[in-house]
Amino acid sequence: MLILGIETSCDETAAAVIRKDKGKTEVLSSVISSQIELHAQWGGVVPNLAAREHLKNILPVIESSLKEAKIRPQDLDLIAVTQGPGLIPALLVGTNAAKTLSYVWDKPLIGIHHIEGHIYANFIFDKIRSISKQAKIKFPILCLVVSGGHTQLVLMKKHLDYEIIGETLDDAAGEAFDKVARILGKGYPGGPIISQMAKNFKQKKEAVEIKLPRPMIKSKDFNFSFSGLKTAVLYLVKNNPEKFKDEKFLEEAAYEFQQAAIDVLVGKTLKAIRKYNPQTVMMAGGVSVNQELRAQMEMAVKKDFPSVNFHLPEIKYTLDNAAMIAAAAAFRWENSEDKERFFSGWKNLEADANLKI
Ligand code: KG4
Ligand code: ZN
Q: Which tens digits make up the pLDDT trace of 136-189?
A: 999 999 999 999 999 999 999 999 999 999 999 999 999 999 999 999 999 999
Ligand 1, atom 5, lies closest to the CA of: 148
What distance in Å separates the CA atoms of residue 84 and residue 246, rounded to the nearest whole number? Answer: 41
Confirm whether 170 is domain-assigned. Answer: yes
Atom of ligand 1 nearest to the CA of 148: 7
Give me the pLDDT at residue 246, please: 95
Residue 232 CB contacts under 8 Å (≥ 6 apart), including other chains: 212, 213
Shared domain for 91 and 213, answered yes or no, is no
How far, in Å, is the centroid of ligand 2 from the Cα of 128?
A: 27
With a cut of 90, say whether residue 295 has pLDDT above it. yes
**Model confidence pLDDT, tens digit, residues 205-262:** 999 999 999 999 999 999 999 999 999 999 999 999 999 989 999 999 999 999 999 9
Residue type, 355: L
Ligand 1 pocket check for 117: Cβ under 6 Å: no
Under the banding of pLDDT at 50, 70 and 90, the label for residue 100 is: very high
Which ligand 1 atom minimizes the distance to the CA of 319? 3
Q: With respect to residue 247, please indicate whether it lies within any of the assigned structural domains.
A: yes
What do you get for the CA distance between the two ends of the chain, in Å?
A: 25
Residues 119 and 38 in one domain: yes
CB 173 within 8 A of CB 186: no
Residue 150 lies in a domain: yes
| Co-location of 173 and 270 in the same domain | yes
- Closest ligand, as measured to the CA of 198: 1
Residues 278 and 330 occupy one common structural domain:
no
Residue 177 and residue 253 in one domain: yes
251 and 110 housed in the same domain: no
Domain with residue 244: its CATH number is 3.30.420.40
Q: Which of these, 272, 278, 285, lies nearest to 114 by C-alpha position?
A: 285
Residue 160 lies in a domain: yes
The pLDDT of residue 22: 78
Which ligand sits nearest to residue 226's alpha carbon? 1
Is 333 a residue whose pLDDT tops 90? yes
* Residue 180 in contact with ligand 1 by CB distance below 6 A: no
Percent of the chain exceeding pLDDT 70 equals 99
Ligand closest to Cα of 177 equals: 1
User: Are 148 and 124 within one domain?
Assistant: no
How does residue 38 score in pLDDT terms, banded at 50, 70 and 90? confident
The reply to whether 354 falls in a domain is no
pLDDT(46) > 90: no
d(CA 305, CA 300): 8
Residues 164 and 274 in one domain: yes
Cα(207) to ligand 2 centroid in Å equals 35
**CB 115 less than 6 A from any atom of ligand 1:** no
Q: Indicate if ligand 1 lies below 6 Å from the C-beta of 177.
A: yes
357 domain-assigned: no
Rounded to the nearest angstrom, the distance between the alpha carbon of 189 and the centre of ligand 1 is 7
Q: Point out the ligand 1 atom lying closest to the alpha carbon of residue 192.
A: 26
Whether residue 353 is contained in a domain is answered as no
The tally of domains found in the chain comes to 2
By alpha-carbon position, which residue is closest to atom 21 of ligand 1? 191
Q: Does 187 contact ligand 1 (Cβ within 6 A)?
A: no
Per-residue model confidence as pLDDT tens digits over 281-290: 999 999 999 9
State which ligand 1 atom lies nearest to the alpha carbon of 118.
1
Please state, in angstroms and rounded to a whole number, the distance separating the CA atoms of residues 340 and 225.
Answer: 43
- 219 is in which domain, residue-wise? 138-312
Average pLDDT over all residues of the chain: 96
353 secondary structure, DSSP code: T
| In a shared domain, residues 115 and 60 | yes
Determine if the peptide bond prior to 85 is cis (ω within 30°): yes
For residue 27, the one-letter residue type is V
Q: What element of type H or E holds 280?
A: strand 280-284
Answer yes or no: is 306 within a domain: yes
Same domain, 176 and 289: yes
What CA–CA distance (Å, rounded) separates 223 from 205? 33
122/164 same-domain check: no
Is 173 in the same domain as 271? yes
What pLDDT, on a 0 to 100 scale, did the predictor assign at position 42? 87
Which of 147, 229, 318 most suits a substitution to test ligand 1, by most atoms within 8 Å of the C-beta?
A: 147
Residue 26, pLDDT above cutoff 90: yes
pLDDT score recorded for residue 129:
60
Task: Calculate how far, in angstroms, residue 266's C-alpha sits from the geometric centre of ligand 1.
Answer: 17
Please tell me the number of the ligand nearest to residue 192's CA: 1
